[in-house]
């Protein structure tokens, strides 16, 4: 039996970050949180920024704690983060300003400018991505239009996980899954979409080497080794986009249909080829890249953001509720009283979400929910029904039929939503693991360092290691009736 090995997963979200130690003897895997920290953005006169240096310091602290606990058992380190955001580095390797947040308002008006230079349909054909406010393309165009000194002097563009890996190793490279969120990568080749880059007037020189997930970048720098107390640890360009890691970390049982459930819900299918048809574009689907040359054909859906914002508002009002209490209230509420479109723009920004939900229901001529449980029930059922819209479009666009949906992420802990999803879609939902992102990060490292032969072996390891739950569909007629009503609400919004 192989002695225990430890792989370090650094998982950064838009609100917090963690350093996870994954302990494994190759028969099972166990995750241990070593260090957790906040990741707040900051508004400055020049825009909204990430404190990426602060993140780096927290990563070093977490790595030092990991070394104190696990020492020579540590095999490698991998970083995953949200997509799109980037730093610009000059010829000396120095960062030119702090990375902006993807919600920074510099994107405003850039879509129109971009589509004047190259029609949206052509961009979609080249990149597989529909234009969204968070795409790197728009933010780079904003920098180009204002003749940003950072862009003028940049030698390399590095996405946030690439930048942090560079600081750990001294090696500059762009990992493919996170690059595929930029709207500047060709999903068919895995290389830059040069025709789009040229059409948008962006400097070619900043778009450097793209590497596959699982690539070993190099060992940590001497200065890093001195700080954390151990030298020679390799850093792997894992599946650096957190959703790519999450999908890799979901065992696919009899179906390639998946759901990453959290603040955002992202539903898609794992395919071997990008789908860039006009119909896919019209439905708002995107093609992002995954592990083992896979394509994540997906659609973003507003997820538990709605529930989180309701909780935040009630906390501010002095009536705090735990998520368990909220689940109980939602379960006790009347079903199918009203519906919202979770992706309506009115829900995109923070601030008094319960009132926004009531206003939407009033505006669409429905019964207005007033108590907390009813509001939460409306949100839960509306999310499940929006999943059905996306699910039916996936079936139509791929020509495939699915017997189950494989779900992972923190959102699967909401049992009412998981059951509602099974009921709405009319198929079985297999949920697990909750820590899909960290699991995917780790198994990609294990593939890159030779401890696993392929992705399927990694998913088998996850399958053996974590409990999963199955939800089977119930009263299809009631949900079919609800879906018909829901579609009329979507038509109004």
Q: What positions carry a catalytic annotation?
A: 242
**Dihedral, CA of residue 343, residue 345, residue 351 and residue 355, to nearest 10:** -80
Residue 369 near residue 381, CB atoms below 8 Å: no
Cα atoms found within 13 Å of the Cα of residue 378, Cβ hemisphere only: 28
Q: Helices 305-316 and 353-363 sit at what angle, rounded to 10 degrees?
A: 120
β pairing state of 404-408 and 174-175: unpaired
Closest Cα to residue 236, out of 164, 321, 314?
164
Structure tokens at 464: 């053996």
What's the order of all strands across the beta sheet hosting 428-431?
286-289, 295-302, 264-271, 257-261, 404-408, 428-431, 469-471
Q: How far is it, in rounded angstroms, from Cα 100 to Cα 17?
A: 18
**Dihedral, CA of residue 62, residue 64, residue 65 and residue 66, to nearest 10:** 90
Closest Cα to residue 339, out of 313, 369, 318?
369
Q: How far is it, in rounded angstroms, from Cα 55 to Cα 238?
A: 18
Residue 356 near residue 346, CB atoms below 8 Å: yes
Q: How far is it, in rounded angstroms, from Cα 300 to Cα 309?
A: 18
3-class SS of residue 156: strand
CA angle 222–450–437, rounded 5-degree value: 80
Q: How far is it, in rounded angstroms, from Cα 383 to Cα 190?
A: 33
- Helix (H) or strand (E) holding 407, with range, is strand 404-408
Phi, psi of 57 (to 5 degrees): -65, -40
Residue 433, preceding peptide bond in cis (omega within 30° of 0): yes
Structure tokens at 84: 């799109």
Give the number of other CB atoms < 10 A from CB of residue 424.
26
Helices marked H in 364-454? 372-398, 415-425, 436-448
Residue 60 near residue 228, CB atoms below 8 Å: yes
3-class SS of residue 90: coil
Residue 461 near residue 28, CB atoms below 8 Å: yes
Q: What is the DSSP letter of 54?
A: H
Q: Helices 436-448 and 455-465 sit at what angle, rounded to 10 degrees?
A: 140
């Amino acid at each position: 039996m192989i002695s225990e090995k430890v792989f370090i997963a650094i998982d950064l979200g838009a609100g917090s970050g963690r350093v996870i130690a994954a302990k494994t003897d190759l028969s099972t895997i166990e995750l241990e949180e070593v260090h957790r920290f906040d990741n707040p953005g900051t508004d400055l006169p020049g825009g909204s920024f990430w404190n990426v240096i602060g993140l780096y310091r927290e990563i070093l602290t977490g790595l030092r704690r990991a070394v104190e606990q696990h020492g020579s058992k540590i095999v490698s380190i991998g970083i995953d983060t949200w997509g799109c955001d980037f730093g610009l580095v000059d010829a000396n390797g120095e960062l030119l300003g702090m990375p902006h947040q993807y919600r920074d308002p510099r994107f405003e008006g850039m879509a129109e400018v971009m589509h004047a230079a190259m029609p949206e349909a052509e961009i979609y054909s080249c990149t597989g991505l529909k234009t969204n406010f968070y795409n790197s393309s728009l933010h780079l165009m904003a920098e180009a239009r204002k003749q940003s000194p950072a862009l003028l002097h940049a030698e390399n563009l590095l996405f946030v996980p690439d930048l942090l890996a560079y600081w750990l190793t001294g090696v500059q490279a762009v990992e493919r899954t996170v690059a595929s969120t930029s709207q500047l990568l060709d999903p068919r080749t895995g290389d830059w979409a040069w025709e789009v880059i040229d059409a948008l007037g962006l400097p070619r020189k900043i778009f450097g080497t793209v590497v596959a997930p699982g690539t070993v970048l190099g060992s940590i720098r001497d200065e890093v080794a001195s700080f954390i107390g151990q030298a020679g640890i390799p850093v792997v360009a894992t599946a650096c986009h957190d959703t790519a890691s999450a999908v890799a970390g979901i065992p696919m049982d009899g179906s390639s249909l998946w759901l990453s459930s959290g603040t955002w819900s992202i539903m898609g299918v794992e395919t071997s080829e990008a789908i860039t048809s006009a119909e896919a574009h019209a439905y708002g689907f995107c093609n992002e890249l995954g592990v083992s040359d896979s394509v994540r054909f997906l659609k973003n859906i507003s997820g538990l953001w709605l529930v989180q914002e309701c909780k935040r508002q009630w906390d501010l009002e002095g009536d705090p509720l735990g998520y368990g209490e909220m689940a109980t209230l939602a379960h006790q509420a009347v079903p199918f009283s009203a519906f919202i479109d979770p992706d309506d723009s009115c829900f995109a920004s923070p601030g008094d979400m319960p009132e926004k939900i009531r206003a939407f229901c009033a505006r669409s001529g429905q019964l207005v929910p007033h108590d907390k449980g009813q509001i939460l029930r409306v949100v839960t059922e509306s999310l499940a029904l929006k999943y059905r819209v996306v699910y039916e479009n996936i079936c139509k666009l791929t020509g495939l039929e699915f017997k189950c949906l494989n779900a992972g992420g923190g959102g699967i802990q909401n049992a009412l939503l998981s059951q509602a999803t099974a009921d709405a879609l009319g198929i079985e939902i297999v949920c697990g693991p909750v820590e899909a992102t960290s699991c995917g990060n780790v198994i990609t490292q294990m593939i890159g360092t030779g401890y696993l032969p392929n992705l399927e072996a990694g998913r088998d390891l996850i399958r053996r290691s974590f409990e999963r739950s199955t939800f089977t569909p119930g009263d299809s007629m009631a949900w079919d009736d609800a879906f018909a009503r829901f579609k009329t609400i979507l038509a109004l919004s």
